[in-house]
Amino acid sequence: MTELLQHPPKDTCMPSVVHRWMLLAAMSFILGLALLDETVVSLALPTISEEFGMTLTQAHWVVNSYLLMFAALVALGGKLADLVNINYLILSGMIIFGLASLACGLAPNGGFLVGARVVQGIGAAIMFPLPIVAISRIFPPEGRGFALGVFGSIATIFLSSGPLVSGYFTSYFSWRWIFWINPPFVLIVCLVIAFAPLKGRIAHGQDKSLSDYSFDWLGIITLLVGLFFFVLAIMQAPEWGWTSRDIVLSFVVGVSALAIFLWNELHIKAPLIQVRFFKKPSFAVAAFVVFQAQYSKIAMFIFGALYFQDKLGFAPFFAGLALMSAVVMNAATAGLSGVCVDKFGVRTPAMWGLLVLSSSTLWLTVFISQDNYWLLLPALLAWGAAMPLLFLPSMKSSVDSVELTKKGQASGVMITSQMLGGTIGMSVSSSIFLFTESYEYVFGTAAAVTLLCYLLSFMYFGKDAGALDSEKQS
C-alpha cells in the first residue's frame, strides 16, 4: 500500500509513439464501455420490467442506481488520480466493473439487478476520470486536441453501436447479454495496462500537498447521502405523493446533506471536490455545458427508446435501429471536434454545438406528438452531430485551465457535473413522465435546460483570460 502512494523519480518517462497510441486505444475502450452501458440498457428496460414485474419507476432505478453511484464517486476517482498510480486505479476499476457486469446478467430479480448496477457504478466512477488525465499527461499540448478527438471517435463507436446491440440481443437472444459483452473489453484493457503500463511521473500523482491532510470522508458521506435522498425524492414523488411525509423528509435530508457538503468543501484544505474552481465563470459554465448535455442524452436514450416502442410500436431491435440515427453522427463529428478545438479554440465549437442541440431538441418537442419517425429523423441526426461539440471543448477547457498537479481534480469535477446531469436528468424526466405521461414535456424540459445553457455560455464560456498553461508547471 505504501508503494502505491510513493512518489516516483522526477524522470517523466514519456512513452514512445507506439506505446502512446496503445494507451490511447485502451483509454478509449474505458470511455466506450461507460458510454455503451448508457445506451445499451435503455432499449431493454421494457423487457426487463416485464420479466421481473417492475413498475416504470422501479425500472428507471436500473438506470439511475448506476448513474447515482457514478455521480457521487467519480470525483473520488479524479482525486485518486492525483495521489495513486493510475495503472492500479484502472485495473481496480475495470475488475469491479467487469465482475458487476457479469452479476447484472445473472440477476434473478429486479432488486438484485439494481444492486449489481450500484457496484457497476462504483467501478465506472473509479476508472472514468482516468483517460482524460492520462491523455493530458502523455500527449503534448499541440497534439492533445487531435488525440482527444480520436479518443472520442473510438469511444463513440461503442455509443453508436449501443442501441443496435441492445435491440438485437433483447429481441433475438436475451437482455442479459447486454451486460455480458462488457467483460471481453475489460480483459483487453487490463492486458494492455499489465504489459504496457504508464511509467514514472506519467503514472503517479504529483500533488504532494494532498497527502499532508486527512482524507475527506465527510465530503464523500454527505455527497452520497445528499444525492441519494434528493434523487429518491424526485424519482418517487409521483408514486408516493409530492406532499407525503417520506418525500418531504427525503428532500430535507438530501438538501441538508448537500449544504453540509458544500460548506465542508469550502473550508478544508484538501476537499473531495474543488468547489473553488467554480469561482471562475468560464469553468462553472463549462461544467453546466456537460451537465445539460448528459441531461439531454438521458432524455434521448431512455425516453426516446421508450417512445419508439410505446408509441410507434417498434420491437426492441427496430427501436435500436431507429435510435441509432441519434448517435451515428457522433463518430463523424467527434474527430472533427478535436480538429476544430485545435484550430479555433474551445468557444466556437461549443457555441455551435449548443445552438444545434437546442434547435434539434425543440424540433423533437414540437413534432413528437405526430408519431412520425421520418419527421423526427432530421432532429435526431442533428442532435447526434452536436454532442461531441459540447463534451470535448468543455473538458479540454477545464483541464487546461489548471496546473498539472490539479488535472485529476479538474477532470473529476467536470465528470461529476456530467454524471450529475445524468442522474438529475433521469430523475426529473422520470418524474415528469410519470406525472404527465407526455413525451413533449420530457423533451421540452430538456430543451429549456439547453437554451438556458446557451445563454450562459454566450456570456461566459471560454472567456477567462486567466487559464493556466499546464505544461509550464511541469
* Per-residue pLDDT tens digits for 300-310: 988 998 899 88
Share of the chain above pLDDT 90, in %: 30
pLDDT for the residue 200: 62
Average pLDDT (358-365) is 94
Average pLDDT (409-428) is 84
How far apart are alpha carbons 305 and 133 in whole angstroms?
A: 33
Average pLDDT (190-209) is 69
Going by pLDDT thresholds of 50, 70 and 90, the confidence category of residue 469 is: very low
pLDDT tens string 255-279: 999 999 999 988 888 788 888 888 8
Radius of gyration of the chain (CA): 21
Going by pLDDT thresholds of 50, 70 and 90, the confidence category of residue 248 is: very high
pLDDT for the residue 255: 94
Among the listed residues 324, 381, 361, the one whose alpha carbon sits nearest the alpha carbon of residue 440: 361
Q: What is the pTM of this model?
A: 0.84
User: 288 and 453 in contact (C-beta within 8 Å)?
Assistant: yes
- Answer whether residue 280 shows pLDDT above 70: yes
pLDDT for the residue 79: 75
pLDDT for the residue 42: 82
Task: Compare 325 and 24 and report the one with higher pLDDT.
Answer: 325
Mean pLDDT of the chain, nearest integer:
82
User: 205 and 8 in contact (C-beta within 8 Å)?
Assistant: no
Average pLDDT (53-80) is 86
pLDDT for the residue 18: 64
Task: Compare 299 and 38 and report the one with higher pLDDT.
Answer: 299
pLDDT tens string 211-239: 555 678 898 899 999 999 999 999 888 88
